[in-house]
Structure 1
Protein backbone atom coordinates (compact mmCIF):
# COMPACT_ATOMS: atom_id res chain seq x y z
CA UNK A 1 0.00 0.00 0.00
CA UNK A 2 1.14 3.49 -0.78
CA UNK A 3 -0.04 6.47 1.24
CA UNK A 4 0.03 9.98 -0.21
CA UNK A 5 -0.86 13.03 1.86
CA UNK A 6 -2.68 16.10 0.61
CA UNK A 7 -4.03 19.29 2.12
CA UNK A 8 -7.38 20.95 1.46
CA UNK A 9 -8.15 24.69 1.49
CA UNK A 10 -9.63 24.17 5.00
CA UNK A 11 -6.27 22.72 6.20
CA UNK A 12 -7.73 19.21 6.32
CA UNK A 13 -5.25 16.41 5.76
CA UNK A 14 -6.68 13.59 3.60
CA UNK A 15 -4.09 10.81 3.29
CA UNK A 16 -4.93 8.57 0.33
CA UNK A 17 -4.16 4.85 0.74
CA UNK A 18 -3.97 2.75 -2.40
CA UNK A 19 -2.26 -0.37 -3.73
CA UNK A 20 1.40 0.35 -4.46
CA UNK A 21 1.28 -0.04 -8.25
CA UNK A 22 -1.97 1.90 -8.68
CA UNK A 23 -2.33 5.38 -10.07
CA UNK A 24 -4.25 7.84 -7.91
CA UNK A 25 -7.50 9.13 -9.39
CA UNK A 26 -7.30 12.70 -8.08
CA UNK A 27 -10.87 13.61 -9.04
CA UNK A 28 -12.23 10.61 -7.13
CA UNK A 29 -10.15 11.56 -4.08
CA UNK A 30 -11.42 15.14 -4.21
CA UNK A 31 -15.04 13.94 -4.44
CA UNK A 32 -14.51 11.61 -1.45
CA UNK A 33 -13.25 14.56 0.59
CA UNK A 34 -16.05 16.82 -0.66
CA UNK A 35 -13.99 19.40 -2.54
CA UNK A 36 -13.13 20.32 -6.13
CA UNK A 37 -10.08 18.68 -7.70
CA UNK A 38 -8.27 22.02 -7.75
CA UNK A 39 -8.53 22.18 -3.95
CA UNK A 40 -6.10 19.29 -3.42
CA UNK A 41 -2.47 20.20 -2.86
CA UNK A 42 0.41 17.95 -1.79
CA UNK A 43 0.99 18.22 1.96
CA UNK A 44 4.25 19.99 2.67
CA UNK A 45 6.76 19.06 5.37
CA UNK A 46 5.45 21.65 7.88
CA UNK A 47 1.88 20.39 7.65
CA UNK A 48 3.04 16.78 7.96
CA UNK A 49 5.09 17.71 11.04
CA UNK A 50 1.96 19.20 12.65
CA UNK A 51 0.26 15.85 12.00
CA UNK A 52 3.11 14.01 13.74
CA UNK A 53 4.72 12.56 10.64
CA UNK A 54 7.34 13.48 8.08
CA UNK A 55 7.73 13.28 4.30
CA UNK A 56 8.28 9.68 3.24
CA UNK A 57 6.85 8.36 6.51
CA UNK A 58 3.16 9.03 5.92
CA UNK A 59 0.91 6.25 7.14
CA UNK A 60 -2.88 6.05 7.20
CA UNK A 61 -3.10 6.28 11.01
CA UNK A 62 -2.82 9.83 12.34
CA UNK A 63 -3.53 11.60 15.61
CA UNK A 64 -4.42 14.70 13.57
CA UNK A 65 -8.11 15.42 14.16
CA UNK A 66 -8.30 17.16 10.76
CA UNK A 67 -7.24 13.98 8.94
CA UNK A 68 -9.75 12.14 6.80
CA UNK A 69 -8.10 8.96 5.54
CA UNK A 70 -9.36 7.90 2.12
CA UNK A 71 -8.48 4.25 1.46
CA UNK A 72 -9.22 2.76 -1.92
CA UNK A 73 -11.93 0.11 -1.78
CA UNK A 74 -9.31 -2.59 -2.37
CA UNK A 75 -7.56 -1.64 0.90
CA UNK A 76 -10.62 -2.40 3.03
CA UNK A 77 -10.80 -6.04 1.90
CA UNK A 78 -9.30 -9.00 3.74
CA UNK A 79 -5.54 -9.24 4.22
CA UNK A 80 -2.68 -7.23 5.61
CA UNK A 81 -1.94 -3.62 4.79
CA UNK A 82 1.62 -2.25 4.72
CA UNK A 83 2.04 1.51 4.80
CA UNK A 84 4.56 3.93 6.23
CA UNK A 85 5.98 2.15 9.25
CA UNK A 86 2.95 -0.06 9.96
CA UNK A 87 1.74 -3.53 9.05
CA UNK A 88 -1.83 -4.25 10.10
CA UNK A 89 -4.88 -6.29 9.14
CA UNK A 90 -7.12 -4.20 6.86
CA UNK A 91 -10.11 -4.58 9.21
CA UNK A 92 -8.00 -3.43 12.17
CA UNK A 93 -6.79 -0.43 10.19
CA UNK A 94 -10.33 0.63 9.33
CA UNK A 95 -11.34 0.27 13.00
CA UNK A 96 -8.26 2.22 14.23
CA UNK A 97 -8.73 5.25 12.00
CA UNK A 98 -11.44 7.58 13.36
CA UNK A 99 -12.17 9.38 10.07
CA UNK A 100 -12.33 7.35 6.87
CA UNK A 101 -14.11 7.67 3.56
CA UNK A 102 -13.56 4.57 1.43
CA UNK A 103 -13.71 5.38 -2.29
CA UNK A 104 -12.55 4.02 -5.64
CA UNK A 105 -9.48 6.26 -5.93
CA UNK A 106 -7.04 3.80 -7.53
CA UNK A 107 -6.52 3.20 -11.21
CA UNK A 108 -4.99 -0.26 -11.32
CA UNK A 109 -2.60 -1.21 -14.15
CA UNK A 110 -4.15 -3.67 -16.61
CA UNK A 111 -1.84 -6.52 -15.54
CA UNK A 112 -2.66 -5.99 -11.84
CA UNK A 113 -6.39 -6.58 -12.24
CA UNK A 114 -6.00 -10.07 -13.73
Structure 2
Protein backbone atom coordinates (compact mmCIF):
# COMPACT_ATOMS: atom_id res chain seq x y z
CA UNK A 1 0.00 0.00 0.00
CA UNK A 2 2.85 2.36 0.82
CA UNK A 3 4.49 1.77 -2.59
CA UNK A 4 1.19 2.38 -4.34
CA UNK A 5 0.61 5.66 -2.50
CA UNK A 6 4.19 6.78 -3.20
CA UNK A 7 3.80 6.03 -6.92
CA UNK A 8 0.41 7.71 -7.03
CA UNK A 9 1.75 10.80 -5.29
CA UNK A 10 4.75 11.05 -7.61
CA UNK A 11 2.46 10.63 -10.63
CA UNK A 12 0.22 13.46 -9.46
CA UNK A 13 3.25 15.62 -8.67
CA UNK A 14 4.78 15.00 -12.08
CA UNK A 15 1.51 15.77 -13.86
CA UNK A 16 1.00 18.99 -11.90
CA UNK A 17 4.56 20.22 -12.43
CA UNK A 18 4.48 19.38 -16.16
CA UNK A 19 1.18 21.21 -16.60
CA UNK A 20 2.54 24.19 -14.66
CA UNK A 21 5.74 24.19 -16.75
CA UNK A 22 3.75 24.11 -20.00
CA UNK A 23 1.36 26.84 -18.84
CA UNK A 24 4.23 29.10 -17.75
CA UNK A 25 6.01 28.47 -21.06
CA UNK A 26 2.94 29.58 -23.01
CA UNK A 27 2.57 32.64 -20.77
CA UNK A 28 6.22 33.68 -21.21
CA UNK A 29 6.00 33.07 -24.97
CA UNK A 30 3.01 35.39 -25.23
CA UNK A 31 4.80 38.10 -23.27
CA UNK A 32 8.00 37.84 -25.32
CA UNK A 33 6.18 37.84 -28.66
CA UNK A 34 4.49 41.14 -27.77
CA UNK A 35 7.81 42.91 -28.35
CA UNK A 36 8.19 41.66 -31.94
CA UNK A 37 6.48 44.25 -34.12
CA UNK A 38 7.49 46.59 -36.96
CA UNK A 39 7.61 49.55 -34.56
CA UNK A 40 10.25 48.06 -32.25
CA UNK A 41 13.75 49.05 -33.45
CA UNK A 42 15.38 46.25 -31.44
CA UNK A 43 13.23 43.64 -33.16
CA UNK A 44 14.07 45.10 -36.55
CA UNK A 45 17.77 45.14 -35.68
CA UNK A 46 17.51 41.43 -34.78
CA UNK A 47 15.63 40.55 -37.99
CA UNK A 48 17.95 42.43 -40.39
CA UNK A 49 20.98 40.11 -40.04
CA UNK A 50 18.73 37.08 -40.43
CA UNK A 51 17.37 38.44 -43.68
CA UNK A 52 20.88 39.43 -44.78
CA UNK A 53 21.90 35.75 -44.61
CA UNK A 54 19.33 34.91 -47.24
CA UNK A 55 16.24 34.14 -45.19
CA UNK A 56 12.94 35.56 -46.34
CA UNK A 57 10.97 37.77 -43.96
CA UNK A 58 8.72 34.84 -43.05
CA UNK A 59 11.66 32.51 -42.44
CA UNK A 60 13.35 35.13 -40.27
CA UNK A 61 10.18 35.48 -38.19
CA UNK A 62 9.97 31.70 -37.83
CA UNK A 63 13.57 31.64 -36.61
CA UNK A 64 12.74 34.37 -34.08
CA UNK A 65 9.70 32.37 -32.98
CA UNK A 66 11.89 29.29 -32.38
CA UNK A 67 14.30 31.39 -30.34
CA UNK A 68 11.45 32.90 -28.34
CA UNK A 69 9.96 29.45 -27.69
CA UNK A 70 13.29 28.20 -26.39
CA UNK A 71 13.74 31.21 -24.13
CA UNK A 72 10.17 31.10 -22.88
CA UNK A 73 10.53 27.50 -21.73
CA UNK A 74 13.83 28.38 -20.08
CA UNK A 75 12.04 31.12 -18.13
CA UNK A 76 9.28 28.61 -17.40
CA UNK A 77 11.83 26.18 -15.96
CA UNK A 78 13.18 28.93 -13.72
CA UNK A 79 9.68 29.73 -12.48
CA UNK A 80 8.85 26.08 -11.75
CA UNK A 81 12.11 25.60 -9.83
CA UNK A 82 11.40 28.77 -7.85
CA UNK A 83 7.91 27.52 -6.98
CA UNK A 84 9.35 24.12 -6.02
CA UNK A 85 11.94 25.75 -3.79
CA UNK A 86 9.34 27.87 -2.02
CA UNK A 87 7.18 24.79 -1.54
CA UNK A 88 10.11 22.90 -0.01
CA UNK A 89 10.85 25.80 2.37
CA UNK A 90 7.19 25.84 3.41
CA UNK A 91 7.30 22.09 4.06
CA UNK A 92 10.45 22.48 6.17
CA UNK A 93 8.57 25.01 8.29
CA UNK A 94 5.67 22.60 8.59
CA UNK A 95 7.98 19.87 9.87
CA UNK A 96 9.38 22.20 12.55
CA UNK A 97 5.88 22.98 13.81
CA UNK A 98 4.67 19.39 13.75
CA UNK A 99 4.51 17.52 17.01
CA UNK A 100 6.02 14.06 17.13
CA UNK A 101 3.44 11.27 17.35
CA UNK A 102 5.17 9.71 20.33
CA UNK A 103 7.43 10.68 23.18
CA UNK A 104 10.49 8.87 24.40
CA UNK A 105 10.10 7.66 27.98
CA UNK A 106 12.95 6.88 30.24
CA UNK A 107 13.09 3.31 31.48
CA UNK A 108 12.73 3.35 35.26
CA UNK A 109 14.00 0.82 37.81
- Under TM normalisation by the shorter chain, which class is it? under 0.3
Q: What is the TM-score with the length of structure 1 in the denominator? A: 0.19
Larger helix fraction of residues: 2
Structure showing greater Rg: 2
Report the TM-score when normalising by structure 2.
Answer: 0.19
